[in-house]
């Protein structure tokens, strides 16, 4: 795990670092602390990271202004902030968790435990996906998604209007952020359930999912049962 | 106000109808000497003079032929306005006297009323003969003014007039006292209030002096004293009324206008010595013209209430022109005073609104100050650091808590004040620095120079600049951030300079100064009006903020 902490309060940054080290222990590759935004953004640009711990108000600058750009990255973002009233807003951008200050070790580890957890969240879920395209950021409403296809470390966002966008997060990472109305049907596919029409069986007991628009996507053998349950 | 003006104009139209006299008189004739036969109707006075001439302290007679045109509906009365003392003969019968004619003369009053016996009140010609003496004011040639009317109404009409005038005088007296008190007790000395009070008092005096003749017997020897007093009262009113308008309407050329007005009034006085009524009319005219000039200027400048005042001035001119002088001028003046009162209420409303908004601003600033320490960014970050200190090093944690308590204490202490001693502000900054040292784990150095302990400053403005300094600065090579507060005096201002010596952070957006600067500006305005200057800018060594406070 490579972790970046952007926090302007020296004492709090050290606290975060200490707790992070104790949580990940030997799984930790690196922890870096940046005490202002510019420095943090430069770090992101130059280094690969897995988790960003971000304070929303840094030296009087509004962290929300850069939230769009960090959530478009491949890593998970955890907000650690005094502005608890901004939590819902932050979640809608697809942050992994919002840890309100003051926090203790338990609360922070809860946030870390979300990484890799498959339990879908019912509330505080993502509403938009920030996508970087030719250096520009733009937001895609997750209601506009037709399905998401994994492509290695990237994901392809197939939109209802036929367009295709690339997202820096992997399918696994996105799955942890997407709301309950999305279902992983295959190791390479996540769909919004509202677009599923019916399951079709191909020769050789291969299962496919027919979407309402007529497209057909494969269903993973191990996921067939869960999906069938949800469709009925 | 508009309705009131319409009402007044209606009254003016009504009262402008004059009633007809019930008699005709011929010019009086005079003869020095004494002969009781001269009282007879049958005596031929054709060779008598039309003027009194030089009668010295001798007796002389005045004869006046009058014709009663209609019966007076009751007892007939005779009103005589004249100088001197005299016995009154009506158709040869002695019906009364004014003063004592016999030597030594006791001066009569200028105005006297006599009852005429019913037997001598028939329609047709009558003869009035006065056996008179004028041993005082011998050179004053004053004719005899005769009026015949119902005796009761001759007595009553001054009473009716006086009842109205006293009512008005009372109102002006109350207004004068009220506005004097208002001026004496108000913190901000509004000179228009004082001027208005003076005008009300002058006007009260004018009304009382004008009508005092009806209830105090003034011997003709003192007749001109009253006139002289009335003249000077009118003179002063004629100066003060345009002055009031010019202040209320922010008239630009006050000095010019008032030197012109003053010289005009003085010229009127000198050129018309002894012509009291005429002088007063000219005074009022000069006042009216200058008031109109001021009001026209106000209308051009679109001052509030100027149109109404102009309407009032026009109405007062109508009143003076269409009513007989004494009444007209008072109604005219009353309208003008009403206009002034109206202007005053407009002004009061403006002051009220200003006051309300300043109270509102003060409470908003107070709230902002209190909010500083409970806003989530400060409170939650402090608590998080605090938890960490308590967990890691309880002893340090306690120190942290004490520093925090210290900052809260000072904040609590100053939150109600508009100005606080500078040493309190510095104490606040220092406790804030010790709190921030625990939070940021950075070393801050506080320095000060030239601070005058006796100086006052709005609460938490240096504190706000310090917060900005902490937020936007990175430590120098020695790992410290330096803050330096200095104070200097100059001839017409004093200046606080706050320097932050540190590396300025790079920002994603340009630093413009948000709520903090707004707070500082609002506080400075609250305490110093517009006599301050606030500059905050980056310099190579860090950041410099200056607060310049000008003397009045």
Q: Distance, in angstroms, between B380 CA and closest chain A CA?
A: 5
Facing residue for B442 by CB, picked from A10, A14, A15: A10
Give dist(CA B376, CA B372) in Å, integer: 9
* A140-149, A189-198, B12-21: segment of lowest average pLDDT: B12-21
Token pair for residue B385? 């650091």
Asked if A59 has any chain B CB less than 8 Å from its own CB, the reply is: yes
Nearest to B227 by CA among B283, B183, B173: B283
Which class would CATH give B29-143?
Answer: mainly beta
Mutate to test the interface with B, among A87, A101, A106 (most CBs of B within 10 A): A101
Options 3.30.565.10, 3.90.79.10, 3.40.50.300, 3.90.1170.50; CATH for B373-550 is: 3.30.565.10
Question: How confident is the model at residue B366, as a pLDDT?
Answer: 84
> Could you give the 3-state DSSP secondary structure of residue A107?
helix
Give dist(CA B67, CA B511) in Å, integer: 99
Q: Vertex A95, ends A89 and A100: CA angle to 5°? A: 70
Fold annotation for A2-113: Rossmann fold (3.40.50)
Kindly indicate whether the ipTM for this predicted assembly is greater than 0.95, answering yes or no. Answer: no
Question: How confident is the model at residue A115, as a pLDDT?
Answer: 83
A71, A174 contact by CB (below 8 A): no
Q: List CB contacts (< 8 A) between B509 and chain A.
A: 61, 65
Cis, peptide link before residue A102, omega less than 30° from 0? yes
Q: List CB contacts (< 8 A) between B466 and chain A.
A: none
Query: Domain coordinates of chain B in residue numbers?
Result: 29-143, 154-353, 373-550
> Could you give the 3-state DSSP secondary structure of residue B212?
helix
Whose structure tokens read 């609002």? B522
Nearest to A189 by CA among A203, A174, A168: A174
Which class would CATH give A128-231?
Answer: mainly beta
Our separate counts of H helices and E strands in chain A read 7, 17
Give dist(CA B243, CA B252) in Å, integer: 12
Which residue intervals of B376-492 are DSSP H helices? 376-392, 394-414, 422-440, 461-472
Whose structure tokens read 């009504």? B14
Nearest to B386 by CA among B376, B375, B399: B399
Asked if A105 has any chain B CB less than 8 Å from its own CB, the reply is: no
CA torsion sign for B398, B410, B365, B471 is negative
Q: Which long-range contacts (CB under 8 A, 24 or more apart) does B38-47 make?
A: B38/B63, B38/B129, B38/B131, B39/B89, B39/B92, B39/B94, B39/B129, B39/B131, B40/B92, B40/B127, B41/B91, B41/B92, B41/B126, B41/B127
At how many degrees (to 10) do helices B325-372 and B191-211 cross? 160
Question: How confident is the model at residue B174, as a pLDDT?
Answer: 94
Overall pTM > 0.90: no
Instruction: Note down pLDDT in tens along chain B; length 552 residues.
Output: 566 666 666 655 555 545 567 888 888 999 999 988 999 988 988 889 988 888 888 899 999 999 999 888 889 999 999 999 999 999 999 999 999 998 889 999 999 999 999 999 999 999 999 999 999 988 888 889 999 999 998 999 888 888 888 988 998 999 999 999 989 998 777 888 899 999 999 999 998 998 888 888 889 999 889 989 999 999 999 999 999 999 888 888 889 999 999 999 999 999 988 788 888 888 988 999 999 999 999 999 888 888 888 988 888 888 877 776 667 777 788 888 888 888 888 888 888 898 888 888 888 888 888 887 788 888 999 999 999 999 989 999 999 999 999 999 999 899 888 899 999 999 999 999 999 999 988 899 999 999 999 999 999 999 999 998 888 888 888 889 999 999 999 989 999 999 999 888 766 555 555 778 888 999 998 889 889 999 998 888 889 999 999 987
Which residue intervals of B272-305 are DSSP H helices? 276-300
Query: Domain coordinates of chain A in residue numbers?
Result: 2-113, 128-231
CA torsion sign for B236, B241, B247, B251 is negative
Q: List CB contacts (< 8 A) between B442 and chain A.
A: 10
Whose structure tokens read 């993502």? A126
Rounding to the nearest 10 degrees, give the CA dihedral for residues B284, B287, B292, B294. -170
Phi/psi zone of residue B405: left (φ > 0), alpha (ψ -120 to 50 degrees), beta?
alpha
Phi/psi zone of residue B298: left (φ > 0), alpha (ψ -120 to 50 degrees), beta?
alpha
Residues whose CB falls within 8 Å of the CB of residue B460, separated by 6 or more in sequence, listed in order: B369, B372, B411, B414, B425, B428, B519, B523
Q: CB B67: neighbour CB atoms within 10 A?
A: 13
CB contact under 8 A, A83 and B377: yes
Question: How confident is the model at residue B400, as a pLDDT?
Answer: 93
The β-bridge partners of B404 are none
């Amino acid at each position: 795990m490579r972790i970046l902490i952007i926090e302007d309060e020296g004492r709090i940054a050290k606290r975060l670092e200490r707790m992070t080290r104790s949580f990940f222990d030997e799984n930790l590759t690196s922890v870096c602390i940046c005490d202002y935004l510019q420095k943090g953004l430069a770090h992101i640009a130059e280094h690969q990271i897995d988790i960003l711990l971000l304070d929303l108000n840094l030296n009087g600058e509004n962290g929300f202004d850069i939230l769009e750009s960090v959530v478009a990255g491949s890593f998970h973002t955890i907000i650690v902030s005094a502005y608890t009233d901004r939590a819902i807003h932050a979640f809608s951008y697809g942050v992994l968790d919002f840890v309100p200050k003051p926090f203790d070790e338990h609360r922070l580890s809860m946030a870390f435990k979300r990484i890799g957890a498959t339990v879908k969240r019912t509330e505080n879920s993502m509403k938009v996906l920030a996508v970087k395209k030719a250096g520009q950021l733009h937001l895609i409403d997750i209601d506009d998604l037709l399905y998401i296809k994994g492509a290695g470390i990237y994901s392809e966002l197939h939109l209802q209007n036929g367009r295709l966008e690339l997202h820096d997060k992997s399918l696994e990472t996105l799955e942890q952020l997407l709301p309950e109305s999305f279902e992983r049907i295959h190791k390479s596919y996540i769909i919004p359930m509202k677009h599923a029409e019916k399951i079709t069986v191909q020769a050789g007991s291969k299962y496919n999912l027919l979407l309402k628009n007529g497209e057909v996507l494969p269903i993973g053998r191990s996921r067939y049962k869960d999906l069938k349950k949800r469709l009925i | 106000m508009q309705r009131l003006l319409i009402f007044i104009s209606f009254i003016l139209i009504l009262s402008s109808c004059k009633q007809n006299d019930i008699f005709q008189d011929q010019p009086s004739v005079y003869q020095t000497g004494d002969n009781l036969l001269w009282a007879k109707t049958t005596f031929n006075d054709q060779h008598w003079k039309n003027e009194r001439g030089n009668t010295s302290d001798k007796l002389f007679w005045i004869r006046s032929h009058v014709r009663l045109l209609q019966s007076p509906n009751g007892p007939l009365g005779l009103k005589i306005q004249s100088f001197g003392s005299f016995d009154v003969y009506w158709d040869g019968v002695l019906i009364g006297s004014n003063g004592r004619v016999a030597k030594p003369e006791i001066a009569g009053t200028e105005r006297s009323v006599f009852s005429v016996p019913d037997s001598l009140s028939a329609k047709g010609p009558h003869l009035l003969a006065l056996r008179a003496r004028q041993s005082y004011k011998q050179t004053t040639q004053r004719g005899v003014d005769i009026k015949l009317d119902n005796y009761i109404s001759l007595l009553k009409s001054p009473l009716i007039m006086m009842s109205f005038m006293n009512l008005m005088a009372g109102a002006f007296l109350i207004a004068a006292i009220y506005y004097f008190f208002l001026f004496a007790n108000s913190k901000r000395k509004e000179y228009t209030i004082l001027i208005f009070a003076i005008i009300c008092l002058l006007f009260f005096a004018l009304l009382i002096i004008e009508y005092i003749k009806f209830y105090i017997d003034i011997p003709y020897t003192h007749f001109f004293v009253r006139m002289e007093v009335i003249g000077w009262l009118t003179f002063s009113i004629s100066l003060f009324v345009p002055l009031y308008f010019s202040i209320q309407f922010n008239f630009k050329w006050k000095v010019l206008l008032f030197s012109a007005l003053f010289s005009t009034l003085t010229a009127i006085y000198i050129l018309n010595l002894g012509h009291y009524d005429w002088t007063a009319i000219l005074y009022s005219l000069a006042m009216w013209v200058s008031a109109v000039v001021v009001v026209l200027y106000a209308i051009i400048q679109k001052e509030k209430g100027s149109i109404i005042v102009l309407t009032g001035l026009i109405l007062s001119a109508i009143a003076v022109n269409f009513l007989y002088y004494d009444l007209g001028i008072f109604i005219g003046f009353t309208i003008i005073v009403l206009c002034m009162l109206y202007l005053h209420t407009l002004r009061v409303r403006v002051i009220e609104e200003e006051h309300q908004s300043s109270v509102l601003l003060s409470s908003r600033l107070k709230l902002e100050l209190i909010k500083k320490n409970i806003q989530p960014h400060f409170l939650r970050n402090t608590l998080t650091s605090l938890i960490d200190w308590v967990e890691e090093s309880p002893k340090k944690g306690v120190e942290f808590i004490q520093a925090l308590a210290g900052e809260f204490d000072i904040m609590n202490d100053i939150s109600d004040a508009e100005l606080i001693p500078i040493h309190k502000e510095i104490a606040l900054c220092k406790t804030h620095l010790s709190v921030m040292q625990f939070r940021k784990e950075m070393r801050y150095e506080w320095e000060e120079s030239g601070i005058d302990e006796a100086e006052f400053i709005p609460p938490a403005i240096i504190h706000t600049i310090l917060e900005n300094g902490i937020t936007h600065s990175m430590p120098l090579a020695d790992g410290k951030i330096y803050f330096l507060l200095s104070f200097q005096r100059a001839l017409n201002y004093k200046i606080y300079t706050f320097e932050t010596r540190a590396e300025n952070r790079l920002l994603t957006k340009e630093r413009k100064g948000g709520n903090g600067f707004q707070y500082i500006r609002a506080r400075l305005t609250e305490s110093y009006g517009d006599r301050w200057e606030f500059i905050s800018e980056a310099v190579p060594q860090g950041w410099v903020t200056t607060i310049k406070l000008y003397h009045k």
